[in-house]
Structure 1
Amino acid sequence: MTVLIDTLKQAPSEGVQRAAELSARYETMTAQEILRDAIRNEFFGDITLSSSFGADSAVLLHMISEIDPGLLVLFLDTDRHFFQTLQYRDELAKRLGLTNLVNLKADAEEAAAEDGKNTLWRTQPDQCCDLRKVRPLNREMEKWGAWISGRKRHQSATRAKLPIVEFDGRHYKVNPLATWNADDIAAYFLAHDLPPHPLVEQGFPSIGCFTCTKPVEQGADARSGRWAGMEKVECGIHNPIYGGDGI
C-alpha cells in the first residue's frame, strides 16, 4: 500500500501537522462528508474502521454502508462480550450489507499464559484489555495507515477536547462524530430507522465486556458504567503507542 509506506516514512511532526490541518478543515463538514473524504481521498485504500457494535455504533456503520460497504470493519472479540452484543453485531452487519467484517481475538498462547484462570479482568484490568484488545488491534493495524473511531467529545471529560483527526506517531485516527452529542445520535437512529442495541433500554449507554460494564444512573457520565469502581476509564486502544503527540 503506497499510502501506508508514505505514512511510515513521515516524521512525527509532519504527521501531527497533517492531522491538525485535516481537523481544522473537517470541523465545518458533516460526518458523512468527513468519512467520504477520508475513505475516498485522504486515506484511499489505507483506512479501516474499528467498531464495538455498541450503543451508538449503528450510526457510523450505516454511514459506511452508504459510502463503501466493503470497507474493512474490525470487531475486537474479547470472549467477554454480552451475548446481546454478538447478536447485534451479526444482525446489524447483515442488515446494512457490510461485507468485510473481521473479528480479532487475543493470541491463544498469550491468553493461556497470562490469563489461564480467567481472572485477569479483576486482578489486572489494564493487562486484560491489553491482551484482548490492544495487542490484537495493533497487530492488524500494522497493515494500515489510518482508522476510523466512533469517539465523541460529549462522552466523558477525557474526550472533551478530542480532535477530529489525530496522529499517534504512525497511524492517523479519524473521529467523524467528535462533535456529535446524544441528541444527534438519537435523531440519526430515528431518521434512518436503525435498531438500537438491546441493552440500551436497560440502562447501558456505553457497552463493553460483561465483566466490567454496569448500568449507568440517570444523569451520570455515559461511560461511568465502564470499569465502575476502578480508576480505569479507557481500554487502551486509543492511547498513543508510537510516541506521537497528536492524541
Structure 2
Amino acid sequence: MNPKITHITEKDIEILAQKLGKNQKEKIALIHLLKQEPEKIDQILDFESIKRYILEAPSPIPISAQLYFQYLGRLALGKRGLKNQELISYITKLLMRFLKMDSLAPFYRLGSRRNFVRMSDLLLSLEKTAGSMQAYRLHHFIADYSLFVCGLFKENIERCWNGSPGMEFYESLGMRSYALAASYPEAQKNSLQGIFSFLSAAFKEVRFALNEIQEQFFHFSDISPSPYDS
C-alpha cells in the first residue's frame, strides 16, 4: 500500500508551510521537505493549527479541492477507525469525480432533458454487456455511484419519492458491485482488488463517514430525490 498523497498542488504545500513554519527559514525547509516527501503531508494534517485553518476559517480558503476532500475524508473515516491512506485517497478521488456539475446531472430536474445517466439505465446496460472490460467498468461505476449517492444524498434516498428504491437497495447494490468488480483481472491489474473488497465489506461504515461530511460541510439545493429514475 502506497501512503503517498497525490495531486497536492505547490500552492497547497506553500500554504501548509506558511501555517506551520515559525520563521522564514522553517517555512522554506518545510516547502522543500513536502515537495521531496509528499507523504509527510498526512502527518502534518494532524496539527491543530492546520485543523483550525481548514475547518474554522471565516472565508473560503485557497487550498485545492483535492487537499480539502483529503482532509475531510481523513477526519470522518478516522473517527470510525478507518484511517487508511489508500481508502482516504480513493474516497477523495470519488468525491473529486462526482462533485462536478456534469457528474451531478442525474440529481437535477432538467425538464425534458433525458441525456443523463440513471441507475436503471446502468443496470440495463450491464445486462446487455458481454465484454469483460465493459462489465468491469460498469460494476466499478455502479459501486462508486451507489456509495456517492448513499453518502451525499442520504435524505433524498430515505424519502423514497415516487416509489424509488431506498437505502437498503443502494447499499446492497454497492456492496455487490464492489465485490464483483474485485473479481475481475482488471482490478488486480490496476491494484484495486484490495480496496474494492474492503469497500464491499465496509460499505456502511464508509457511507456513514460520507453522511457526516455532507451534513457538516456540504449543502445542496434543487436536488432531485433519486438517481434511479427521472
Answer with 1 or 2: which has the greater Rg.
Answer: 2
Q: Which has the higher helix share?
A: 2
Is TM more than 0.5 here? Answer: no
Give the TM-score normalised by structure 2.
0.29
